[in-house]
Amino acid sequence: MMKKTLFNILILAILLFVGGCGGNLDKEKSSKKVITWNEIEKAYKGSFLVPDGSFGVKEQNFHYSKGAFCIKDKETIFLQGHSYSKEVRELKLPKTFNNKEAKPIGKWFDPTDNLQSTGDILNEYYRLGDMLILKNRIYFTKYSWYNFEHDYDSFGYREKSSTFADGKSYGLWNADHKLAHNMRIGGYLSNAPKSLKLDGVTFLAGQQGLSGDAMGRWGPNLFAVKFDANKKKGEAMEAIPLIVHPNKEKKAQDWNIANRVYSITWIETKNRSGVLVMFTKVYGDMWYGEADENNPPDPYGGEKGYHSTGKQLIAWIYNPDDLLKVYNKKLKPHEVKPIEKKVLIDLKPGKVKGEEEHFSIFRKIRAIRMKMLDNRLIMIQSSTSDLPKGFVFDFD
């Protein structure tokens, strides 16, 4: 009996030891509940405006900004200006978020230093995808417009000198995964959670398919990128898929070509975590081309491109544990499903702008970019006809 008891104790000790030697990804699962949209809105502190005007720089302003931005600290951001200029400017946020204007600081600068792709592309027109500040670097994505089946270079970074504006940029590098090609990794950047950082992940990146204005061919996607600045320009960075809808058979439910994912961010607070996706979804008739008497214009403007007689602004929230299962190859990236779907604004077919139903703090169906630093989440809503507007959320 004594030998059997000692044997059982030994087996239990071995099991406990093996369990204790598991990866950091498993340790990160248990302590935090998944955040809800209701909890996000409870953290809302108010909004701020982006200033008008060129500030002494000829033809440079924030009109037609695509809203790409990064957070320097809790009071300061860098925001993309007019998309044709590809330049950004530092903005100091107001002390109170009651629709006061942010204050411009310093000079306009191109965070990419006009770096050009080494990949096989169809034209030389590039867009600044997004930016993310990590320590003394602004990481960025840059991609070629009208990129069908060709590969392209995406990642780069700007090393800070005395200021980021006076820094130097390096890149561009590819992503190594076949599902990350054709714009699927060029559009938005997010901080990686602590568990993935411990495994060598630098940041998260993703977008959706792009052909002209057809931004939503497959649905939301997200990759964990292990960035290595020692690689030669044009080489591939390791990119591990977390959420991907690679083809029509595996596309997101009810997804169509005119839906547009704008941003994905991994939220981590003291007690909550979640992966938040912001996008617009169309329904009703949809077409491409010029608006005319047979094809009425999009209710939110736009003379050419993909139009719909109705659309919604929507938030999806994923359980981070599901994405970690994908990372650990226990789930496939197209098998991950959101656990909460929240319609924020609904504009039904036949109605026009101003006749929407609102179910959130937002009042316009516009693109939304997101970034998080510590307990502060900032969203920038932008369009081609309005100046960007900021929304601030502070979590306990």
How much is the pLDDT for 309?
73
**In the chain, how many domains are there?**
1
Question: Cα(56)–Cα(120) distance, rounded to whole angstroms?
Answer: 38
- Confirm whether 25 is domain-assigned: no
Question: Cα(154)–Cα(142) distance, rounded to whole angstroms?
Answer: 5
How much is the pLDDT for 283?
79
**pLDDT category of residue 30 using cuts at 50, 70 and 90:** very low
C-beta contacts of 104-110 below 8 A and 24+ residues apart: 104/51, 104/55, 105/76, 106/163, 106/165, 107/57, 107/165, 108/57, 108/60, 108/81, 109/164, 109/165, 110/86, 110/169
Question: Cα(152)–Cα(396) distance, rounded to whole angstroms?
Answer: 41
How much is the pLDDT for 127?
81
| CA dihedral of 105, 110, 111, 116, whole degrees rounded to 10 | 180
What's 95's domain CATH number?
A: 2.115.10
Which tops the pLDDT comparison, 29 or 310?
Answer: 310
| CA dihedral of 206, 209, 214, 218, whole degrees rounded to 10 | -100
How much is the pLDDT for 120?
63
How much is the pLDDT for 355?
92
What confidence tens digit (pLDDT) does each residue in 339-352 have? Answer: 999 999 999 988 88
What confidence tens digit (pLDDT) does each residue in 140-199 have? Answer: 998 876 655 566 778 999 999 999 999 999 989 989 998 888 778 888 999 999 999 999
- Confirm whether 293 is domain-assigned: yes
**What average pLDDT does this structure show over 37-49?**
97
- Confirm whether 81 is domain-assigned: yes
- In 3-state terms, what secondary structure has residue 392? strand
Q: In which domain, by residue range, is 45 found?
A: 31-394
How much is the pLDDT for 22?
35
pLDDT above 80: residue 276: yes
Which tops the pLDDT comparison, 321 or 2?
Answer: 321
Question: Cα(69)–Cα(322) distance, rounded to whole angstroms?
Answer: 28
Question: Cα(306)–Cα(314) distance, rounded to whole angstroms?
Answer: 18
Question: Cα(302)–Cα(304) distance, rounded to whole angstroms?
Answer: 6
- In 3-state terms, what secondary structure has residue 309? strand
CB 39 within 8 A of CB 270: no
- Confirm whether 325 is domain-assigned: yes
Which tops the pLDDT comparison, 261 or 378?
Answer: 378
What confidence tens digit (pLDDT) does each residue in 212-222 have? Answer: 555 566 789 99
Strand pairing category for 98-101 and 44-49 = parallel
Question: Cα(46)–Cα(376) distance, rounded to whole angstroms?
Answer: 12
Percent of the residues in the chain that have a pLDDT greater than 90, as a whole number: 54
Percent of the residues in the chain that have a pLDDT greater than 70, as a whole number: 78
Query: What is the model's pTM?
Result: 0.89
- Confirm whether 6 is domain-assigned: no
- Confirm whether 264 is domain-assigned: yes
Question: Looking only at Cα atoms, what is the longest distance across the chain?
Answer: 91
How much is the pLDDT for 101?
95
CB 130 within 8 A of CB 370: no
pLDDT above 60: residue 15: no
CB 370 within 8 A of CB 377: yes
**pLDDT category of residue 123 using cuts at 50, 70 and 90:** low
97, β-bridge pairs: none
- Confirm whether 12 is domain-assigned: no
CB 60 within 8 A of CB 81: yes
How much is the pLDDT for 116?
83
CB 387 within 8 A of CB 370: no
Which of 111, 236, 234, 104 shows the shortest CA–CA distance to 171? 234
DSSP 84: T
**What average pLDDT does this structure show over 45-71?**
83
**Mean pLDDT computed over every residue of the chain:** 84
C-beta contacts of 126-129 below 8 A and 24+ residues apart: 126/86, 127/66, 127/83, 127/86, 128/66, 128/68, 128/80, 128/83, 128/86, 128/88, 129/68, 129/154, 129/186, 129/187, 129/188, 129/189, 129/207
- ∠ Cα 20 224 193 (to 5°): 55
- Confirm whether 73 is domain-assigned: yes
**What average pLDDT does this structure show over 327-354?**
93
